[in-house]
């Protein structure tokens, strides 16, 4: 067996040592730079679902190998950081976030440096990139230079914090949505943005409670970036956020990590918060570098090179599937069943406000045109305004994930393809929703023919979603 194939072979079960009673574990005897096989990457994903924070010792990453591992482990990287608005990235790649106190000249940043001052907000409890949509999923921090004094990071388990809420409080927060903006967290500490900088950081709205795929657990989704709650007066919303953050950061929910050189820590931003603890940063150097993946659908192994004929066949089959489903959108207009929209008023009759229809495809495309045609007729039938909101990307999964986090009151619906709700969930358990559990079908709006590219004798199993009526 050649060395390249040996490096990519499955390595057997992970050695995992829990570090806290609720979450956090250390994965022992592994070099993540050498992890390329899908089996091990899947085991690491399962460990993240269980523990939410994983610690790896003696991981001697450079920037290139850290970027490569992050992408093959969890997909597309976050690069629109708040720090990039005020300071140029010294690495030349915004996907590597500079968490150091070291300037481009190699010296410790001056106390009044804007780069240092904006980074001070990392001492607030937060979750990475919650001020964007899609937000951050997994963050991965590599400790290149560690000071001789403690420069720890604390993590809070937001799943356990949600579980510990009384039932009446859970009912209160389950349907709430929160606006997150990096401007809010920085301004709390007196950092001043120029108007053009503020314009680059508009923020994003996310559910206050998130359901985490793979673990199927609920978690509070909070951060210092959380600036207000939709539908609540600003003071009351912020008081609720403050109360929940105080609850979630009680000591029983918190783990404190003491960094060693070459530590590599991965955490799930969807169900944890974290904060840096202060140290003498005007005296000692500290160099930590972070990569964060975006919360987008990702099939583990989709970025892995094919190492044998079977894997190569699988890659070709997946490409064929996506091509067929891309072709479907072009046929939707001609196959529109015009009577299908008439079932909508019966469903939405108790909701009298504006109705948002989410479209998982770009404006101007066939599915978008189909939806806008439908919206005109619905506006007449319902006597209510219909708003089209394009949430394009990932084969409609971004729209589906947005729908899952929306209020279940009839104000938000989605036009979806069976590709989004059936095929992708069958091939990827990390899509973020269960179509049968999380969604209620309203009406069919088109009918079209398709065929399966899967060959007889392969390892695929296709379920018929209509088999049980």
pLDDT of res. 325? 37
The winner for highest mean pLDDT among 21-25, 81-85, 362-366, 436-440 is: 21-25
For the domain made up of 3-294, give the CATH fold. Double-stranded beta-helix (3.60.130)
Give me 98's structure tokens.
Answer: 């500079």
How many helices (H) and strands (E) would you count in the chain? 17, 18
Q: Which residues contact 23 (CB under 8 A, 6 or more apart)?
A: 51, 52, 53, 155, 157, 159, 160, 255, 272
Residue-wise over 241-269: b if at least 16 C-beta within 10 A, else e? beebbebbbeeebbbebebeeebbbbbbb
pLDDT higher than 90, residue 454: no
| Biggest CA pair distance of the chain | 72
Considering the chain, tell me which residue range(s) the CATH 3.60.130.10 domain(s) occupy. Answer: 3-294
pLDDT of res. 86? 67
Give the percent of the chain with pLDDT over 70. Answer: 73
What mean pLDDT do residues 14-32 have? 98
Considering the chain, tell me which residue range(s) the CATH 3.40.190.150 domain(s) occupy. Answer: 309-438
Between 36 and 367, where is the model more confident? 36
Backbone torsion region of residue 265, taken as left when φ is above 0, otherwise alpha when ψ lies between -120 and 50, otherwise beta: beta
CATH architecture of 309-438: 3-Layer(aba) Sandwich (3.40)
pLDDT of res. 461? 41
SS3 163: helix
pLDDT 10s digits, 310-354: 444 444 444 443 343 343 333 333 333 322 222 232 333 455 567
Mean of per-residue pLDDT scores for the chain: 80
Strand-pair partners of 254? 156
pLDDT 10s digits, 103-156: 999 999 998 888 888 888 999 999 999 999 999 999 999 999 999 999 999 999
Q: Which residues contact 320 (CB under 8 A, 6 or more apart)?
A: 453
pLDDT of res. 347? 39
Between 70 and 396, where is the model more confident? 70
pLDDT of res. 194? 87
Whole-prediction pTM? 0.67
pLDDT of res. 154? 98
What mean pLDDT do residues 179-203 have? 89
pLDDT 10s digits, 71-101: 999 999 998 776 667 667 888 888 999 999 9
pLDDT of res. 11? 66
Distance CA 212, CA 219 (A): 7
């Amino acid at each position: 067996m050649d060395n390249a194939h040996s490096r990519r072979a499955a390595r057997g079960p992970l050695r995992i040592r829990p570090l806290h009673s609720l979450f956090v574990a250390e994965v022992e005897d592994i070099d993540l730079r050498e992890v390329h096989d899908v089996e091990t990457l899947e085991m690491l994903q399962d460990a993240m679902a269980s523990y939410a924070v994983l610690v790896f010792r003696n991981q001697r990453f450079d920037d290139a190998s850290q970027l490569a591992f992050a992408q093959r482990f969890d997909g597309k990287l976050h690069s629109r950081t708040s720090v990039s608005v005020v300071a140029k990235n010294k690495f030349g790649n915004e996907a590597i976030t500079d968490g150091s106190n070291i300037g481009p000249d190699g010296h410790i940043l001056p106390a009044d440096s804007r780069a240092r001052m904006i980074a001070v907000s990392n001492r607030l409890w937060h979750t990475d990139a919650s001020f964007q949509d899609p937000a951050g999923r997994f963050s991965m921090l590599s400790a290149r230079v560690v000071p001789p004094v403690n420069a720890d990071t604390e993590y809070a388990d937001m799943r356990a914090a949600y579980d510990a809420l009384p039932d009446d409080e859970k009912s209160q927060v389950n349907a709430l949505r929160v606006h997150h903006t990096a401007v809010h967290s920085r301004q709390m500490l007196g950092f001043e943005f120029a108007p053009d900088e503020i314009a680059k950081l508009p923020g994003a709205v996310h559910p206050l409670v998130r359901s985490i795929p793979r673990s199927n657990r609920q978690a509070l989704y909070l951060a210092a970036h959380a600036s207000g709650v939709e539908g609540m007066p600003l003071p009351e919303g912020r008081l609720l956020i403050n109360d929940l953050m105080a609850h979630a950061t009680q000591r029983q929910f918190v783990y404190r990590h003491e960094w060693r050189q070459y530590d590599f820590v991965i955490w799930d931003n969807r169900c944890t918060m974290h904060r840096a603890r202060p140290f003498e940063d005007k005296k000692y150097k500290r160099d930590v570098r972070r990569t964060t993946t975006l919360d987008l659908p990702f099939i583990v192994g989709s970025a892995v090179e094919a190492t044998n004929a079977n894997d190569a066949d699988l890659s070709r089959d997946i490409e064929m599937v996506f091509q067929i489903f891309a072709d479907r959108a072009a046929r939707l207009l001609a196959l529109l069943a015009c009577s299908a929209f008439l079932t909508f008023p019966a469903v939405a009759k108790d909701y009298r406000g504006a109705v948002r229809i989410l479209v998982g495809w770009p404006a101007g495309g066939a599915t978008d045109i189909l939806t806008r045609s439908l919206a005109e007729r619905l506006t007449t039938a319902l006597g209510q305004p219909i708003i089209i909101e394009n949430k394009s990307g990932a084969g409609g999964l971004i729209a589906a994930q947005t729908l899952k986090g929306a209020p279940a009151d009839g104000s938000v619906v989605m036009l979806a393809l069976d590709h989004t709700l059936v095929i992708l969930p069958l091939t990827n358990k990390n899509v973020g929703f269960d179509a049968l559990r999380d969604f209620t079908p309203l009406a069919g709006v088109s009918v079209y023919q398709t065929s399966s590219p899967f060959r007889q004798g392969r390892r695929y199993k296709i379920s018929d979603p209509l088999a049980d009526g």
